[in-house]
Each structure stands twice: as structure tokens, then as C-alpha cells.
């Protein structure tokens, strides 16, 4: 018999297949099982339309591994292939019988069955691990069986053979181990079980395999050697796959314990998730999603090693373990999976051809997560607090990143500590407590709530009873700057140059008068400090404290600290405005010195400035001079 050649282009394609299309060799098994499942689907479809004498429960896929002959066989009792089909389906690479079947069968079949194959290349993945492949097949309605055999690019043979029942058996002769590559693993029953669990757990027909096990023999006492129990080997058949994916079952049928166990098992966590989201969407793109909010931060969450993403299934077959495109960065902590029949996969089923579909799914998932978080926020504040402790930072980064592209998605989900409520509050809650005269949402940024609570800059606002948000994470002020406003109420820093509080005519006049009468003194202080400050002025916001720093329009002093702590070479500097409290006794002392001892103004100015720096948590520029100046003052007393 003459060996048949693969079609010329097929030859090159086969070479490509074997060497480069797939990144993981192990997926050959997924491909063969998917083919078997497709063949059974076709048979099942036939049994719906004609009397085949087969019921759905009769279908199975069987895997047999034999180390001695180095063969791994995958058998199914699906439709099988005729001689012509073996030729055309396996002799021409990139020809998919399944795709034809789908096209020919029309709408009805498409709804009832759910065939996986469509590219006509999956089968050839076998050559990545095999030196020889035999396909023994008997088609439904035929008596004669046929065998197709190939050792790779050289071509294939087809010959008559015997087979008792309808169906197909693919028998791989697994390659020998080489120095760099191991293939023996594909003959290990336990490894095969792992691969089935990983890639084909939700194939809807049982995937069976025999396992050799040991058990104690219940032998009479006298027969036992040396009183030791005897063991015997026996074979047990196991079904390797779960068949029905959890997410395909009705929500009412699934218990919380099942959801949780699935999560711990699939996503390797040792604690139950904080919340489970299970949703099915029907539409232009239909999908099921099972999502989890972890109760704890993954241990590597803040490292470069952490990979965000959801598992992506296409009709129950795992396509990608961590599909990053399904999750925006702000929700990178989410775990879970998406299963859709509507994805157009590319040849290797590894990446997707059109990310338009993924984008559509991703944007719906994003909204769903937001809605669930909002519900938790409104109905179970304590739980939301736990969530926020773990992942709030991610949400705030989400607002800041990409110039605020996700700000609408996230602005209702963030919380800050409230000066009045003494706990975390949302922006919308802040707004609901705002008085009619208050025009801005005020915030103070700093190291800790304790320190912020004592900040001199907040005195006037507190006096008025205005609520202040205390921002203690580095990203906070940057995020609010990106937000700019919330429901048309702009944000304002308590350390900004202008607090935006309207003064009465009388207050205005009084301020102007004080500024005018102290103009020379203030210029003298400014002159003494030189470039360190851009302005020296009398403060409207201080009540009991003598001095503070305010910043100009651009960077705030807190932002300066955050940016300068980053490992960039260029250091930034916020504009500094020194504010002095005209009603403080120290100001009177300053006036006195100005009148009597002009020389001392420099010392006083520097001392005031250094104190303002210390209050801000900034280092004084010359600590020795600062100490000497203080001692000098102490000695004169
Ligand atoms: P695909 O599954 O993407 O169509 P394959 O290269 O894996 O591509 O298979 C080519 C064709 O061979 C399939 O479409 C199907 O018609 C046929 N085939 C493969 N395996 C089997 C099988 N176990 N039983 C029946 N037909 C099969």
C-alpha cells in the first residue's frame, strides 16, 4: 500500500503545529478529549433525530495508559469516521469536520449541541508528544472499520481493520524522554487525571480511566505470612471529570458551602471568600460568570509576581487560566471565571482573535462588580469595611490611574476617615451632611488620623463645624485631585492658599486693615526667609496656633513628600506660604522685636518657619541653628 502524503501546505502547517502553535504541550489531551466529546455530541444529535438505540447515559470517553507499550489511548463511542472522513478530516490539516457539521446542521443543531472544534488543527497537537499516532474508527451505520496511521510530517497510511463498536480510538505512542524534554509523564495515570481535571473537567460525558490500587486481603489468620496483613492489587475505574460545571447549575441549587469549597479549591485559598457573585447573561454575547471577592489579600498581591485575571472557558473547556482583559486593574483582586460559547477563538485556543467580545464581557463584569460592591456598602457596612481594608487602596489607585478613566466607576466606592463621624465615610454620605453654605468638600492629607486631627490648618473649619476628610494613604490626595469634584462639589485642601470661605464685610475690612498695618513687618519676615517661602501673610484659618504652612495652587506639601519619596532623580518642591496668626501672643512679640531690635527679626522668622516645617512633618533645614536659636531665647529669659 502506498503511503499518502499530506497536502503540501498541510505539511508545513503540521510542522508549525508541532513546533510553535501551542505554548503548553500538555494541551494535546484537551484537544483529543474535545474531539471525542464533539463526536459524541454528533452521535447524540443523531439519536435525537433517528432511532439509534443509544441513550445519553451510554456515552463515555475512555483513557488508557500503558507504560510497557508507551501508548496512551483516547476512545469514544461517538459517530466515528468513514474511510473518506479519515482522509479528509485527518489528511488535510486545518479542515474541520466539526465546523462543516455545524454549518450543515443549521440553527437547531447549534442550539441543542455545543460543539467545540472549528479549526481542524487540534488533533495534530498529538504530534507534540507522540512519535506515532493511530486512529481506529468505525462510523455510525458502517460495518467496516478503518485505521489511519502517521508518524508525523512524512504522511499517513489508511488500512482496513476490525472494530466491534461504533466510535473512535486515538492511540498515541508517546515519545521517549530526551535530555531536555520529558514525555514519560503522559503515561502516568495521576498526571493524566490532573490534566483532565484542569482542562476538561466540564466535558459533559464521563471521562473514565482505570487506576491500579491496593487493598488489604481478608485472609484467614493461618494464611498470613509472619502475621503481616497481605495486600492485593486491583483495578478500579474512576470518572475523572465533574461533568456539570458548578456555574451551569441553578443558583438556587447551589449551597454557600459548595460555592466556597469551589473557590478554595480552584483558587487555592485557605479561607472562604468574602462574597460570591454568580451571574448569567443572555444577549448578543451570552456568558456565565462566577466571581469571588477574596476575604484576604493574596500574599503576593502587592508584588510584581501577582497576575490579575479571570479563568476563561469556552463551552466548559478551559482556554486561559488568567485572562487579564476580563478585569480592569482597579478590580485586580477579583478571582473567578467566565464561560461563554460566543467567543471566537484563534487556532491555538490560547488567545482570542477578536478582543471586541472580551471587551464587551469585561465592561459588563466591571459594572456587575461595582453594583455588588455598592450593595455590600449599603447593606452590610461591616463587611464592606473589611473589603475596603484589604482592597480600598486598589480602588483609589484606580481613580488616579489613566487620568481618571475609571473615576465614575469608582467614586461611590471609596471611603475616607471623617473628622466629625470619627470613622470611614463615603463621599455621598459626606455630601448628605454638608450644610447649604458649605461650598467645598474639605480634606487634610497627612501621615495619620491622629496627626491630622491636631493640624493647625483645620482650626477655622472645625470651628465652623465643617467635616474634613483625613487622607492618610499616599495615593489619596492624587486621587482626589483627579476626581476634582464629587457631584459638582469641588474638593479643597485645608492647607491650600484659599479655603474658599466667605467672610462678612466686617471680617474682610478687619483683615485688610491688619494686613496693611503689618505690611512692613511681613515683608521683613519674607525678606529674612528669602526663597524658602513665596509669601508671608496673616492667617485667617488659625485660631490658637501661631503659625502654619499653606501651599499654592500646584502641588501640596503632602504631594511633594510622596513624590520625593519615590526613587526618581528629579525632586519637586511645593510652593510654601507662611501664615502667621495675628491674634497670637507670639505675633505681638514679633511686632515688638520689629520695633526695637530689627536684627532679631531674622532669628524669629526662621524659628517660626522651622516650627511650621515641623508641624508639617518636614525636616528643618538646619537643626543645629534651630536648636541654638531656641537655647538663645531660653537663656534670655
Ligand atoms: P477540530 O476539532 O477543530 O475540527 P481537529 O484537527 O481536532 O479539528 O479534527 C479534525 C476533524 O476530525 C474534526 O472536525 C472531526 O470531524 C474529525 N475528528 C477528530 N477526532 C474525531 C473523533 N474522535 N471522532 C470523530 N471525528 C473526529
Which of 98, 126, 128 to probe ligand 1 with, by most ligand atoms within 8 A of CB? 98
CA of 36 to the centre of ligand 1 (A): 8
Residues facing residue 237 across a β-bridge: 210
Mutational pocket test of ligand 1: of 6, 27, 35, 116, the residue with most ligand atoms within 8 Å of the beta carbon: 35
As a whole number of angstroms, the distance between CA 497 and CA 484 comes to 17
H or E element, residue 279: strand 275-281
Alpha carbon of 448 to ligand 1 centroid (Å): 64
With cell 484659618, the residue in question is: 541
pLDDT in tens, 60-104: 999 999 999 999 999 999 999 999 999 888 876 545 556 666 566
| 288 CA to centre of ligand 1 in angstroms | 27
For residue 1, pLDDT beyond 60: no
Confidence band of 124 (pLDDT split at 50, 70, 90): confident
Place of cell 509472619: 226
Query: Model confidence at 333, in pLDDT bands (50, 70, 90)?
Result: very high
CA of 114 relative to ligand 1 center, distance in Å: 14
353 has a pLDDT exceeding 80: no
**Alpha-carbon span 308 to 328, nearest angstrom:** 9
Q: What is the pLDDT of residues 287-301, one digit of tens each?
A: 999 999 999 999 899
- Grid coordinates representing 414 are 471609596
Single out the residue of 234, 306, 540 nearest to residue 548, CA to CA: 540
% residues pLDDT > 90 (the chain): 65
Q: What pLDDT score was predicted for residue 535?
A: 95
Pocket probe mutation, ligand 1, options 13, 17, 27, 117, max atoms within 8 Å of Cβ: 117
- Mean pLDDT confidence for 292-313: 93
pLDDT at 505: 93
Give residue 17's pLDDT.
Answer: 64
Nearest CA to ligand 1 atom 12: 89
pLDDT at site 19: 66
Ligand 1 nearest-atom number relative to CA 34: 2
pLDDT at 217: 84
> What are the grid coordinates assigned to 501, written together?
470661605
Please say if the pLDDT value at position 42 is more than 70: yes
List the residue whose alpha carbon is closest to atom 15 of ligand 1.
Answer: 97
- How would residue 108 be classed by pLDDT, with cut points 50, 70 and 90? low
Integer Cα distance of 591 and 455 in angstroms: 25
The x, y and z cell numbers of residue 449, run together, are 488620623
Per-residue pLDDT at 2 exceeds 70: no
Q: How far is the CA of 39 from the centre of ligand 1 (A)?
A: 8
Query: Cβ–Cβ contacts within 10 Å for residue 52, how many?
Result: 16
Please state, in angstroms and rounded to a whole number, the distance separating the CA atoms of residues 273 and 287: 22
Please give the pLDDT value at position 319: 79
User: How many angstroms separate the CA atoms of 93 and 71, rounded?
Assistant: 23
The region of weakest confidence among 215-224, 371-380, 594-603, 625-634 is 215-224
pLDDT tier, 356 (very low <50, low <70, confident <90, very high otherwise): confident
Q: What is the DSSP letter of 89?
A: I
Please give the average per-residue pLDDT across 415-428, as a whole number.
97
What torsion do the CA atoms of 7, 10, 15, 16 make, to the nearest 10 degrees?
Answer: 160
Over range 221-235, report the average pLDDT. Answer: 75
Taking CA atoms, 143 is separated from 7, 40, 120, 166, 506, in Å, by 29, 19, 26, 9, 108
Q: How many Å lie between the centroid of ligand 1 and the Cα of residue 89?
A: 7
- pLDDT mean across residues, the chain: 89
Helices (H), 454-504: 459-463, 474-483
Is residue 117 predicted with pLDDT exceeding 60? no
Q: Got the DSSP string for 8-20?
A: HHHHHHHHHIIII
Q: Indicate the top mutation candidate among 94, 96, 102 to test ligand 1's pocket, ranked by most ligand atoms within 8 A of CB.
A: 96
- Domains assigned to the chain: 11-239 (3.30.565.10), 246-386 (3.30.230.80), 414-493 (3.40.50.11260), 505-636 (1.20.120.790)
Indicate the pLDDT class of residue 314, thresholds 50, 70 and 90. confident
The 10s digit of each residue's pLDDT in 432-460 is 999 988 999 999 999 999 999 999 999 88
What integer is the mean pLDDT of 598-612? 93
pLDDT at 389: 97
Tell me how far CA of residue 435 lies from CA of 438, 441, 505, in angstroms.
5, 11, 21
Nearest Cα to Cα of residue 169 among 3, 27, 32, 14: 32
Residue 392 Cα to ligand 1 middle (Å)? 49
**How deeply is 38 buried, as exposed, middle or buried, from its count of CB atoms within 10 A (0-12, 13-18, 19+)?**
buried
pLDDT at 627: 95
Distance 51 CA to ligand 1 centre (A): 24
CA distance 70 to 314: 32
Residue 124 CA, closest ligand 1 atom number: 6
pLDDT for residue 253 is more than 70? yes
- Distance (Å) from CA 345 to ligand 1 centroid: 16
pLDDT band for position 350 (cuts 50, 70, 90): low
pLDDT above 60 (res 116):
no
Compute and round to an integer the Cα radius of gyration of the chain: 37
State which ligand 1 atom lies nearest to the alpha carbon of 80. Answer: 25
More confident residue, 478 or 219: 478
Identify the residues whose C-beta falls under 6 Å from ligand 1: 31, 35-36, 39, 76, 78-81, 89-90, 96-99, 117-123, 168
- What is residue 81's three-state secondary structure? coil
Question: In 10 A of CB 572, how many CB atoms?
Answer: 14
CA distance 114 to 272: 33
Write down the pLDDT at residue 216.
86
Contact between residue 547 and residue 580 where contact means Cβ atoms under 8 Å apart: yes
DSSP string, 514-555: HHHHTHHHHHHHHHHHGGG-SEEEE-SS-SS-SEEEEE-SS-
Question: Separation of 117 CA from ligand 1 center, angstroms?
Answer: 7
Distance CA 343, CA 356 (A): 10
- Range with the largest mean pLDDT of 158-172, 250-264, 301-315, 622-636: 158-172
pLDDT-derived band at 18 (thresholds 50, 70, 90) equals: low
Closest C-alpha residue for ligand 1 atom 20:
35
Report the predicted TM-score, pTM, of the whole model to 2 decimal places: 0.78
- Ligand 1 centre distance from Cα of residue 124 (Å): 10
Of residues 138 and 19, the one with the higher pLDDT is 138
Question: Per-residue pLDDT tens for 501-537?
Answer: 888 899 899 999 999 999 999 999 999 999 999 999 9
Report pLDDT digits (tens) over 154-203. 788 999 999 999 999 999 999 999 988 899 999 999 999 999 998 899 89
Averaged pLDDT for residues 470-493: 96
| pLDDT score, position 469 | 98
At residue 336, the pLDDT reads 97
Of 202-211, 452-461, 473-482, 628-637, the range with the lowest mean pLDDT is: 628-637
Q: Calculate mean pLDDT across residues 421-437.
A: 96
Strands, E, within 405-500: which ranges? Answer: 415-418, 424-426, 441-445, 468-471, 485-486, 489-493
pLDDT digits (tens, 9 = 90+) for 263-275: 998 898 999 999 9
Amino acid at each position: 500500500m502506498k503511503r499518502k502524503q499530506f497536502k503540501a501546505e498541510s505539511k508545513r502547517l503540521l510542522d508549525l503545529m508541532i513546533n510553535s502553535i501551542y505554548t503548553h504541550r500538555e494541551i494535546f489531551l484537551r484537544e483529543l478529549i474535545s474531539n471525542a466529546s464533539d463526536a459524541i455530541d454528533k452521535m447524540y444529535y443523531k439519536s435525537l433525530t433517528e432511532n439509534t438505540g443509544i441513550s445519553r447515559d451510554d456515552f463515555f470517553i475512555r483513557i488508557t495508559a500503558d507504560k510497557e507499550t508507551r501508548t496512551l489511548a483516547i476512545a469514544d463511542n461517538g459517530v466515528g469516521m468513514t474511510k473518506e472522513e479519515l482522509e479528509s478530516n485527518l489528511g488535510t490539516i486545518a479542515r474541520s469536520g466539526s465546523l462543516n457539521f455545524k454549518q450543515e446542521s443549521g440553527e437547531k443543531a447549534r442550539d441543542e449541541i455545543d460543539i467545540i472544534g472549528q479549526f481542524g488543527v487540534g488533533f495534530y497537537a498529538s504530534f507534540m508528544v507522540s512519535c506515532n499516532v493511530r486512529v481506529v474508527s468505525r462510523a455510525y451505520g458502517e460495518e467496516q472499520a478503518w485505521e489511519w496511521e502517521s508518524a508525523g510530517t512524512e504522511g499517513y497510511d489508511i488500512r482496513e481493520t476490525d472494530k466491534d463498536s461504533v466510535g473512535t480510538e486515538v492511540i498515541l505512542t508517546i515519545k521517549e524522554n530526551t535530555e531536555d524534554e520529558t514525555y514519560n509523564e503522559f503515561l502516568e495515570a495521576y498526571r493524566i487525571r490532573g490534566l483532565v481535571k484542569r482542562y476538561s473537567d466540564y466535558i459533559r460525558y464521563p471521562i473514565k480511566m482505570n487506576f491500579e490500587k491496593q487493598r488489604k486481603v481478608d485472609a484467614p489468620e493461618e494464611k498470613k505470612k509472619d502475621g503481616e496483613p497481605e495486600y492485593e492489587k486491583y483495578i478500579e475505574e474512576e470518572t475523572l471529570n465533574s461533568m456539570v460545571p458548578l456555574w451551569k447549575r441553578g443558583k438556587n441549587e447551589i449551597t454557600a458551602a459548595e460555592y466556597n469549597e469551589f473557590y478554595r479549591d480552584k483558587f487555592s485559598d485557605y479561607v472562604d471568600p468574602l462574597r460570591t457573585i454568580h451571574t448569567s447573561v443572555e444577549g448578543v454575547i451570552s456568558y456565565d460568570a462566577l466571581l469571588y471577592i477574596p476575604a484576604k489579600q493574596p500574599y503576593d498581591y502587592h508584588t510584581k509576581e501577582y497576575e490579575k485575571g479571570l479563568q476563561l472557558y469556552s463551552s466548559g473547556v478551559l482556554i486561559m487560566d488568567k485572562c487579564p482583559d476580563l478585569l480592569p486593574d482597579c478590580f485586580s483582586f477579583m478571582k473567578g471565571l467566565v464561560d461563554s460559547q460566543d467567543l471566537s477563538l484563534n487556532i491555538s485556543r490560547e488567545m482570542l482573535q477578536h478582543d471586541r467580545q472580551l471587551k464587551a464581557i469585561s465592561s459588563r463584569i466591571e459594572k456587575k462588580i461595582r453594583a455588588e460592591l455598592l450593595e455590600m456598602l449599603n447593606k452590610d457596612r461591616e463587611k464592606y469595611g473589611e473589603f475596603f481594608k484589604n482592597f480600598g487602596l486598589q480602588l483609589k489607585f484606580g481613580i488616579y490611574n489613566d487620568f481618571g478613566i475609571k473615576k465614575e466607576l469608582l467614586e461611590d466606592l471609596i471611603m475616607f476617615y471623617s473628622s466629625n463621624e470619627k470613622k470611614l465615610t463615603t463621599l455621598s454620605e459626606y455630601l448628605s451632611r454638608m450644610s447649604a453654605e458649605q461650598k467645598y468638600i474639605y480634606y487634610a492629607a497627612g501621615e495619620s488620623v491622629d496627626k491630622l486631627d491636631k493640624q493647625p490648618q483645620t482650626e477655622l473649619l472645625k470651628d465652623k463645624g465643617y467635616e474634613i476628610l483625613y487622607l492618610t494613604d499616599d495615593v489619596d490626595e492624587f486621587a482626589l485631585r483627579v476626581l476634582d469634584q464629587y457631584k459638582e462639589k469641588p474638593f479643597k485642601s485645608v492647607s491650600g492658599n484659599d479655603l474658599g470661605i466667605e467672610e462678612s464685610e466686617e471680617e474682610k475690612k478687619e483683615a485688610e486693615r491688619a494686613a496693611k498695618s503689618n505690611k512692613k513687618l511681613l515683608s521683613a519676615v519674607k525678606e529674612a526667609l528669602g526663597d524658602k517661602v513665596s509669601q508671608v501673610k496673616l492667617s485667617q484659618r488659625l485660631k490658637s496656633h501661631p503659625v502654619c504652612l499653606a501651599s499654592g495652587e500646584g502641588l501640596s506639601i503632602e504631594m511633594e513628600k510622596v513624590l520625593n519619596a519615590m526613587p526618581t532623580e528629579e525632586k519637586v518642591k511645593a510652593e510654601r506660604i507662611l501664615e502667621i496668626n495675628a491674634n497670637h501672643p507670639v505675633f505681638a512679640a514679633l511686632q515688638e522685636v520689629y520695633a526695637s531690635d530689627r536684627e532679631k527679626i531674622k532669628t524669629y522668622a526662621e524659628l517660626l518657619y522651622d516650627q511650621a516645617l515641623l508641624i508639617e512633618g518636614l525636616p528643618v533645614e538646619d537643626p543645629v541653628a534651630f536648636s541654638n536659636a531656641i537655647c538663645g531665647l531660653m537663656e534670655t529669659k
